[in-house]
């Protein structure tokens, strides 16, 4: 396959119509791959499709043209992804000194960053001041005192609590003030001489309810009026994250965009002068990521009759096929610890799932930890030791949350892109 290479990037370019399975199979058998380095030919690896990121960004611009993107760096701090998004004109949601430094070092300007952590380590806040990062969130009086002491010229955004009950990951127990706390907090900010410029919320990640954005936007409207009555120039609304990013989401992005557009038109029309931003993360990157792993061992256990009554229906196999992969919950699949449906079943790399008979199966990761369970009591085709499998939706909160526990190294990343975005790559990653 054709490649685009610079000192900072090596991308395999594929033709329109080429499948990810075809590309992954080429990577598995291509012995000439030397960057990034895999120690052994059966080691796992990530594939990031940069074209998918570009496609998602175009979709956002089409459906939410008046909502500025501040990409949530925590979801995928891959430097190639960050540089691509900088080239696409995006801004960034950073939660720490390290994230701020990385984004700045990769070429973003300080005015394209929101320090979107309500509770900031003082040295991190001091770093933000030194680098000119002013926009940041808060939700307590104590944080206001800290900002007054360390970064009094900050532009503050009050984070409120507005959880979606359908979201897999809810944040209200940790972040955000309640409605009745808004006026007292704004009054304290006024007394301290601080500059509050807007309101933010986060409905939660993996939301399946687009209407929650309508409700949250409507809830914030009178809060802006409170701020204005106290003399603040309330000019920014931050919609947070929670936008669907997987290949087959429960609710599609166009449904979210439609609800948000209608709510903004009603409560924050263009004539209001309020700047609208959001902090998507997995929306831009989750479906761009793939993980290729190897079956390093297998065994077949006979299921105890009492256990079988609970796990396998009458007429099914009295056995369970158990597989061990060279990746697990510590090396990128940690989402399974919080949500059993966070990832779909892996597919055999050399042929689709539908082409083989399914067996009751459990998949373990490679570590010695008994909690390293990728999939329990699922239906898979019989796999062979040494066979490769492909995971989808691996571009968000995967590698960023991984570690090398038990000595199993983190999988390296290869970048791929359709030939159609070569001009985008040349502009963002110019050859020297």
284: Cβ–Cβ under 8 A, 6 or more apart, which residues?
53, 56, 57, 60, 69, 71, 85, 245
**Three-state secondary-structure class, residue 414:** strand
- Pick the catalytic residue: 94, 177, 368, 378? 368
User: How far is the CA of 334 from the CAs of 291, 343, 406, in angstroms?
Assistant: 13, 10, 15
If we measure between CA atoms, which residue out of 73, 103, 24 comes closest to residue 414? 24
- Residues pairing with 48 in the sheet: 289, 415
Q: Two tokens at 401?
A: 């949350």
User: How far is the CA of 411 from the CAs of 8, 126, 399, 408, in angstroms?
Assistant: 19, 35, 8, 9
If we measure between CA atoms, which residue out of 133, 113, 154 comes closest to residue 238? 113
In the residue annotation, 368 being an active-site residue is answered as: yes
If we measure between CA atoms, which residue out of 295, 289, 314 comes closest to residue 398? 289
How far does Cα 298 stand from its chain's mean position?
32
Whether cis (ω within 30° of 0) applies to the bond prior to 182 is no
Supply the residues annotated as catalytic.
368
């Amino acid at each position: 396959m054709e490649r685009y290479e610079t000192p900072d990037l090596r991308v395999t370019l594929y033709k329109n119509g080429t499948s990810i399975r075809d590309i992954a199979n080429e990577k598995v058998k291509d012995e000439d791959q030397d960057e990034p380095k895999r120690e052994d030919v059966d080691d796992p690896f990530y594939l990031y499709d940069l074209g998918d990121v570009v496609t998602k960004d175009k979709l956002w611009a089409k459906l939410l043209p008046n909502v500025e993107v501040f990409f949530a760096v925590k979801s995928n701090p891959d430097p190639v992804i960050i540089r691509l998004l900088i080239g696409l004109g995006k801004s960034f949601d950073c939660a720490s000194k390290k994230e701020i430094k990385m984004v700045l070092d990769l070429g973003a300007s300080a005015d394209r960053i929101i320090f979107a952590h309500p509770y900031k380590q003082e040295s991190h806040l001091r770093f933000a001041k030194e680098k000119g990062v002013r926009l940041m969130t808060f939700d307590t009086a104590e944080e206001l005192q800290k900002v007054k002491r360390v970064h009094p010229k900050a532009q503050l955004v009050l984070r409120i609590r507005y959880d979606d009950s359908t979201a897999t990951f809810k944040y209200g127990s940790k972040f955000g003030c309640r409605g009745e706390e808004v006026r007292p907090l704004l009054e304290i900010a006024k007394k301290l001489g601080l500059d509050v410029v807007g309101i933010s919320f986060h409905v939660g990640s993996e939301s399946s309810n687009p209407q929650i954005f309508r409700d949250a936007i409507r809830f914030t409207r009178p809060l802006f009026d409170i701020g204005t009555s106290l003399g603040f120039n309330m000019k920014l609304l931050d919609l947070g994250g929670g936008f669907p990013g997987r290949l087959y989401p429960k609710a599609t992005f166009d449904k979210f965009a439609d609800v948000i557009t209608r709510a903004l038109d009603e409560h924050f029309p263009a004539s209001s002068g309020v700047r609208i931003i959001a902090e998507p993360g997995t929306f831009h990157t989750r479906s761009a990521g793939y993980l290729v792993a190897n079956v390093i061992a297998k065994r077949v256990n006979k299921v105890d009759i009492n256990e079988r009554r609970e796990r396998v229906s009458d007429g099914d196999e009295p056995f369970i096929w158990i597989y061990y992969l060279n990746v697990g919950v510590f090396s990128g699949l940690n989402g399974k610890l919080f949500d059993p449906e966070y990832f779909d079943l892996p597919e055999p790399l050399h042929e689709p799932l539908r082409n083989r008979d399914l067996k009751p199966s459990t998949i373990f990761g490679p570590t010695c930890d008994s909690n390293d369970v990728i999939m329990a009591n699922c239906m898979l085709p019989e796999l062979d030791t040494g066979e490769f499998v492909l995971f989808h939706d691996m571009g968000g909160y995967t590698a960023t949350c991984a570690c090398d526990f038990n000595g199993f190294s983190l999988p390296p990343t290869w970048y791929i892109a359709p030939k159609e975005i070569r001009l985008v790559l040349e502009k963002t990653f110019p050859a020297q």
